[in-house]
């Protein structure tokens, strides 16, 4: 399991404009972005007692969460992800899924998962049985991604974050969503062994500090 450093900052829309201008002059837009951005949809899983949510709120040192994600409503980009956090570092494991597999899961048919070639899919099946994990809510947002080769740095600007409330209809592009409270903009910075000073200087904003913002937690604020 490979871990990466992660910073998150909740910033203003004015900060977004400043950073967009700075980053665009030095860093390279992610090759998957269209006109510098893409739309992300995630479907988060949690237990009946909201284990993942409460571990995040309480700042538990070791925690994990599962989600299904796709980009720009393109079925070919659909994948299952497990995010794992420990001591401020993060790792991610992924496995491709088809829309048919997602629709089968959402319909309550999970028998196929136990024999799936991906260990991650089999792990989710096991934890759906033993921990009661179930789809909880959709989260949609727009991302502007930038990369910088030294340090394997990835900087993203996320905004227009919306929650599906109790909706889990991942495959419906017209699923009803609402803006999360306060309509925030989130700056995320991820890197491997070192964060180059050039990038560190680019992302400096007066009065902004690392936060523990969670899109999933924000999406559950209406519950």
The dihedral over CA atoms of 64, 70, 72, 75, expressed in degrees to the nearest 10, equals 180
Per-residue confidence (pLDDT) for residue 188, from 0 to 100: 95
- Beta-strand runs (E) in 87-184: 89-96, 134-148, 153-163, 178-179
Per-residue confidence (pLDDT) for residue 209, from 0 to 100: 65
Q: What is this structure's pTM?
A: 0.94
Residue 115, H or E segment: none
Q: Calculate mean pLDDT across residues 81-109.
A: 94
Residue 199, H or E segment: helix 197-202
Look at residues 160, 112, 157, 135 and name the one whose alpha carbon lies nearest to residue 65: 135
Q: Calculate mean pLDDT across residues 163-179.
A: 93
Distance spanning both ends of the chain, measured CA to CA = 34
Both structure tokens of 68: 């299904």
Distance CA 161, CA 142 (A): 7
Per-residue confidence (pLDDT) for residue 70, from 0 to 100: 96
- Beta-strand runs (E) in the chain: 4-11, 28-29, 38-46, 62-71, 74-86, 89-96, 134-148, 153-163, 178-179, 185-191
Q: What is the pLDDT of residues 62-79, one digit of tens each?
A: 999 999 999 999 999 999
Q: What is the pLDDT of residues 130-166, one digit of tens each?
A: 999 999 999 999 999 999 999 999 999 999 999 999 8
């Amino acid at each position: 399991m490979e871990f990466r450093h992660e910073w998150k900052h909740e910033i203003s829309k004015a900060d977004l404009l400043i950073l967009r201008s700075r980053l665009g002059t030095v860093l390279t837009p992610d090759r998957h972005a269209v006109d510098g951005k893409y739309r992300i949809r995630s479907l988060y899983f949690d237990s009946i007692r909201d284990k993942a949510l409460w571990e995040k709120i309480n700042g538990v040192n070791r925690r994990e969460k599962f989600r299904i994600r796709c980009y720009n409503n393109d079925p070919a980009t659909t994948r299952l992800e497990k995010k794992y956090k420990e001591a401020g570092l993060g790792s991610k494991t992924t496995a491709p899924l088809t829309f048919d597999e997602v629709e089968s899961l959402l319909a309550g048919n999970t028998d196929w998962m136990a024999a799936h070639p991906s260990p991650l899919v089999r792990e989710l099946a096991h934890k759906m049985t033993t921990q009661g994990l179930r789809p909880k809510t959709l989260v949609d947002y727009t991302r502007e991604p930038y990369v910088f080769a030294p340090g394997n740095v990835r900087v993203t600007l996320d905004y227009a974050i919306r929650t599906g409330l109790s909706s889990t209809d991942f495959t419906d592009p017209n699923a009803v969503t609402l803006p999360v409270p306060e309509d925030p903009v989130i700056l995320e910075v991820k890197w491997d062994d070192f964060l180059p000073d050039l990038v560190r200087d680019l992302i400096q904003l007066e009065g902004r500090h690392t936060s523990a913002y969670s899109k999933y937690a924000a999406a559950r604020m209406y519950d």
